[in-house]
Structure 1
Amino acid sequence: MKKIYFLLFTLLVASFSFGQDLIVNGTFESWDDANNPTGWTKAENVDQESSETHGGDYSVKHTADGTKDLSQTISGITPGNTYTLSMWYKVESGDGTDARIWSKWSTDGTVDHDTDADVLQGVGETGYFDNNGNVWTEYSVVLTAPAGVNEFYFEVRSYGSAVVYWDDFSFVQQVVTTPSISILSPSNNSSFAPGTTSVDVEFSTVNLSGSESITVTVNGTPNVNATSPFTVPTADGETYEVTVDLIDGGTTIDSDMITFSVGSLNQVANITELRAGTLGETFELTGEAIITYIVTEGTRNQKYIQDGGAGILIDDSAGLLSTPFNNGDGITGLKGQLTEFAGTLQFVPSQNVASASSTGNTVTPIVVSVSDLLNNGEDYESRLITINSATFADAGTFADNTNYNVSNGGETTICRVAFGDEDLIGTAIPTTAVSITGLGGQFNDDYQIFPRYTTDIAAPLSVTDFNANTFSLYPNPTNTGSVSISSTNSEAISVQVFDILGKQVKNQTLTNNTLNVANLKSGVYIVKITQNNASTTKKLVIK
């Protein structure tokens, strides 16, 4: 049985008249010197036929073994308009012959029928028909152009050794004479990013007499005498059903409806919670974070921020965080998406923050060993850290975008010079042990430190031992109102306590190794302990 496959498109039942035929040489009366019908995008394995025609002097005959194609791209399509595609065909008897039609609405006519064209299927409950007794038969289908298109591509194809005749193709716009209304945007079931505060609903009308009015109903609330675009105020996590009604004399004569939604925003109190979030989701950082470094090189508008527990890199290639900020400024209410690049967690803003929530903050670098960085790199990523008594394996001068091996305590990590517009570039690489202050970084499996300025490479700190055994702090966590701090000698201990926002909340010298924390609220704090010019920092949890 010979079969032709078609897909019936939406049929618009209304009052129509018919406009100009948009197909070029649909009657096949014009042929070029290569014996191909003129105006057709592709004519493969076709012959000019004069003895079997539906009308006129010629038709197209699909011949030969294998695949036979005949296609045309039709320009001048108007979204929302309705068109009638019609053609006549005649299928001769043969074994295993198939013929079918592909089609695709497009914007540039570049359609590959094997990958992205739709198969038109139709006629009859089975969707197939046979050779109809080897007589000329008409196929016709009504198509409505979707939004955003300006071309229509279609292709008829035959297979095997069958012979199929084609003639009198037409593609005619139906001119609607009844008033109608349709929503152009957003498309149905659209989803908008969290933080979207409004959505414009655009709609169009045709064939109005002038007496009609439009009512837009949003989630059951009507808005009469509406015009396009109609702005719908939105909130995170909500769904909106919008109906536009075309009304004349109190009667709805046409309507269209869509549904759209706005995604939910995950709120986190601090960067530790943010870093524990799911990649790709959108968050609001409700707590304050302090800017430790603004990258002025390049176009990604990157900023390193941290609080008392963690840090993260802001990657803002779109420049949405447009308010001028300075190092040491506090930012509260950041909104954006959690992403990752080469192992480094990043926060991509979705909207601006109007102003700094505080200014002039000072963040004390966390003193770590190379071993600490290698084994606990996630704890220090995008935070200010200092590696003390580190030696460089290389000599010469510092160059931009260059990795240098640095070592202490028998371990080696990477010191990367990444900020090419700072004064570190071109200065001499130290040949003796130094302290290196910078931002904890990661590239794939390698944890690194990124110094910023010449002053970040300095003489070793007066610290004899940065191991955790130098000082101990207990109980931790505590709910007793105090903690004990012990060291390897009996000298006085100086203690500074910083809250999760990086603000100092205590600064005192201990004589009895006991720190009173009864006046501190429950939460996470950073304790900097100094004795005889030896310092370390520890995390303290108060319950």
Structure 2
Amino acid sequence: MKKIYFLLLSILLSSASFAQILAEDFDYGTTAGDLTTMSGGAWVLHSGSADPVAYVAAPTSLTMTGYPSSGIGGHATFSGASQDINRAFPEISTGTVYASALINLSAVGSGNYFIHFNSGGFRARVGAKDDGNGDILFGIGTSSSTLTYGTTPYSLNTTYLLVFSYEIATGVSNLHVLSAAAVTEPAAPEATNTGNTGTAINAIAFRQSSNIPSVAIDGVRVAENWNDIMNNSTTPSLSITAPVNGTEYAPGTTSVDVTTTVQNFMVANGTGDGHIHQILTTPGGTFDEFKYDTADQAIMVADGESYTIFMELVDNSNTPITPAVNVTVNFSVGSLTTVADIAALRADVDLNGTGGTYLLQSVPVVTYTRTSRNQKYIQDASAGVLIDDVPGNIATTFAEADGMSGLTGGVSIFNGVLQFNPSADATLVASTAVTPEVVTIATLLTDYADYQSELVKIVGATFTETGSFVNATDYTINDGASMVFRTNFSEADYIGQAIPTASGDIVVLVGEFSGAPQVTARTLTDLTLSTTSFEAKANFAVYPNPTNTGFVNITTTANEAIKVTVFNILGKTVLSQTVNNTVLNVSSLNAGVYILKLNQNGATTTKKLVIK
């Protein structure tokens, strides 16, 4: 039964013993499935969306005589290129971190790493590659994806015990490949590598990417010495399996389960070895009590506060055991930053970096949606931003021209593009489609940061290349200046279609790749806008332009009324009138750049207007 405390947050406590830090036997029952689900959240996703790491149900464990995590439960398999997952353990900040795993590879490619320690950076990256004769070479890299490989060939479809280590002070990583359990550490490793020093370690991770082997893995153990890798310790230990010490949780978090793990010590109320003394320090006071089981505790949390929890193993007379086994963890919950609009969001990120969590007060409009990573482009009157929602936290279905209210989450930057990472669902609000602002390529080349992720129109653009569009390819567009048009959307209906050969207006989303602006279209319609029918037939004219007289003349050869809508550079309608080949009064408008949208007999065109 869970106890409820009115605290702020839950915690991951550091191990308080010299036993193994983690013993992962993949003993999650007789139902197979996604490891992150079947493990009850012990393994968590940190990258990618497809190809989940699979739990193969018990009894299918890998075995090796003399290894303490042999023949227990099931095992895990992976061979894809997407999802990366990790399991946290109490942080180790000094000495040497050891890990071991039973592995069996059924196929191997040209080489890549598939298991590593995790923290502020990947450490002790272990990989495998084909030796050119159908056998396996194993390698390790401390902090680089370029591994140092051993020279011993190993066989496919054979179970080996990998033991790898990272010495925090020196940055030395060693890899041993064993065919039988070893009581002492062999003098010569299969491979060794030196890299970054000083990284505290708090998780072990499985990585999927191109050229990784097809992996079956079991019996993952983490310890601070070789002996505890190869033996089940009798030393009492106390830990909390999630989350990590020092974590700041997202604003809006209200409750997190604290999972206590005790080894080699029976926790009970007078009938075991003793119990747990815990002190919870909260803004509302200190809670000092004894805990007589290891059941989960649900900690109630609130925004903007910091907390401390202390736990210690005590005997049945409430005296701490000797040597002492205790842990202290500090944790907090962040505060929500409210921003008026997307421009204010961008300004705060520019000033304070990407660590904030935001509530957007404006109601942006969706300009494009993708199934890939659940991405959505949104835009309000101030700016645009790309939503990158790998976990699928926005459960509501949005379409182009829908408004989105109550958007909350954090941000990240990928290749120069600001991405909004939602932490909760948003509300659909009825809205209207965004009218693309007319811009020139020259403007985008100099001010692309101001237009990032916005939908814009480029008038009179031509493509330099001919032929058909190919996905993930750069092309050149020109309207007097030139820039990159990239086919970023593999799902776009113009992939495989002919590149337009005539000059025309195009609608594009503005992007960036590592400091260089680029644009891409959503659909074939965006690339085949009509540019001649109205203006050529009607002999369209707007003058004077620029104007400082308070009016402009709008004329056509057709003797029909013209519906005129004037937008400011934020896309907001500032004037709407119907004129008959006569004067449009713009005296109410401030000096600046505006977009005229004109409609006559169903034909529509746009024109930039400058008021001085």
TM-score, with length taken from structure 2: 0.51
Matched, 1:414 2:484: yes
Contact 1:244/1:256, CA 8 A, preserved across alignment: yes
Matched, 1:327 2:400: yes
The letter for the 2-side match of 1:355 is: T
- CA 1:497–1:259: 2 relative to 1, 3 Å: same
C-alpha deviation, 1:324, in angstroms: 1.9
Report the equivalent of 2:472. 401
- CA 1:319–1:468: 2 relative to 1, 3 Å: farther
Report the equivalent of 1:274. 345
Report the equivalent of 1:294. 369
Report the equivalent of 1:453. 523
- CA 1:382–1:213: 2 relative to 1, 3 Å: closer
- CA 1:538–1:381: 2 relative to 1, 3 Å: farther
Report the equivalent of 2:280. 217
Distance 1:344 1:390 in 2: 24
C-alpha deviation, 1:230, in angstroms: 1.1
C-alpha deviation, 1:261, in angstroms: 1.6
Report the equivalent of 1:374. 445
Contact 1:314/1:347, CA 8 A, preserved across alignment: yes
Distance 1:247 1:151 in 2: 24
Distance 2:508 2:266 in 1: 68
C-alpha deviation, 1:193, in angstroms: 4.2
The letter for the 2-side match of 1:388 is: V
**Match for residue 225 of structure 2 among 144, 153, 157:** 153
Number of residues of Structure 1 aligned to a counterpart in Structure 2: 380
Contact 1:291/1:330, CA 8 A, preserved across alignment: yes
User: Which consecutive unaligned segments of at least 5 residues does structure 1 have?
Assistant: 1-9, 13-73, 78-101, 118-145, 156-169, 474-483, 518-524
- CA 1:449–1:467: 2 relative to 1, 3 Å: farther
C-alpha deviation, 1:256, in angstroms: 5.1
Distance 2:541 2:458 in 1: 10
C-alpha deviation, 1:310, in angstroms: 0.8
C-alpha deviation, 1:535, in angstroms: 3.4
Q: Deviations over 1:68-102 (max 9, x none)?
A: xxxxxx9659xxxxxxxxxxxxxxxxxxxxxxxx8
- 2:391 partner SS: coil
Report the equivalent of 1:192. 249
Matched, 1:438 2:511: no
Identity score, percent: 30
Matched, 1:241 2:308: yes
Contact 2:462/2:502, CA 8 A, preserved across alignment: yes
C-alpha deviation, 1:530, in angstroms: 4.1
- CA 1:103–1:171: 2 relative to 1, 3 Å: farther
The letter for the 2-side match of 1:282 is: G
**Match for residue 318 of structure 1 among 380, 391, 408:** 391
- CA 1:366–1:499: 2 relative to 1, 3 Å: closer
Contact 1:465/1:534, CA 8 A, preserved across alignment: no
The letter for the 1-side match of 2:164 is: T
User: Which consecutive unaligned segments of at least 5 residues does structure 2 have?
Assistant: 1-14, 18-65, 70-94, 102-162, 174-201, 205-220, 557-561
The letter for the 2-side match of 1:290 is: V
Distance 1:221 1:343 in 2: 45
Distance 1:390 1:192 in 2: 48
The letter for the 2-side match of 1:348 is: N
Contact 2:543/2:552, CA 8 A, preserved across alignment: no
- CA 1:347–1:401: 2 relative to 1, 3 Å: same
- 1:379 partner SS: helix
Bigger relative contact order, structure 1 or 2 (CA pairs below 8 A, ≥6 apart): 2
- CA 1:187–1:395: 2 relative to 1, 3 Å: closer
Matched, 1:110 2:177: no
Distance 2:542 2:487 in 1: 27
TM-score, with length taken from structure 1: 0.57
Contact 1:470/1:488, CA 8 A, preserved across alignment: no
Distance 2:482 2:541 in 1: 16
Contact 2:307/2:332, CA 8 A, preserved across alignment: yes
Distance 2:16 2:391 in 1: 43
C-alpha deviation, 1:188, in angstroms: 3.9
- CA 1:516–1:401: 2 relative to 1, 3 Å: closer
Contact 1:271/1:307, CA 8 A, preserved across alignment: yes
Alignment of 1:15-164 (within 5 A): 76=68, 104=97, 106-107=99-100, 109-111=163-165, 115=171, 150-153=222-225
Matched, 1:388 2:459: yes
- 1:388 partner SS: strand
Distance 1:250 1:539 in 2: 85
Distance 2:244 2:465 in 1: 59
C-alpha deviation, 1:423, in angstroms: 2.3
Distance 1:326 1:386 in 2: 20
Report the equivalent of 2:81. none
Contact 1:344/1:443, CA 8 A, preserved across alignment: yes
RMSD: 4.6
Report the equivalent of 2:427. 355
Report the equivalent of 2:12. none
C-alpha deviation, 1:466, in angstroms: 11
- CA 1:516–1:203: 2 relative to 1, 3 Å: same
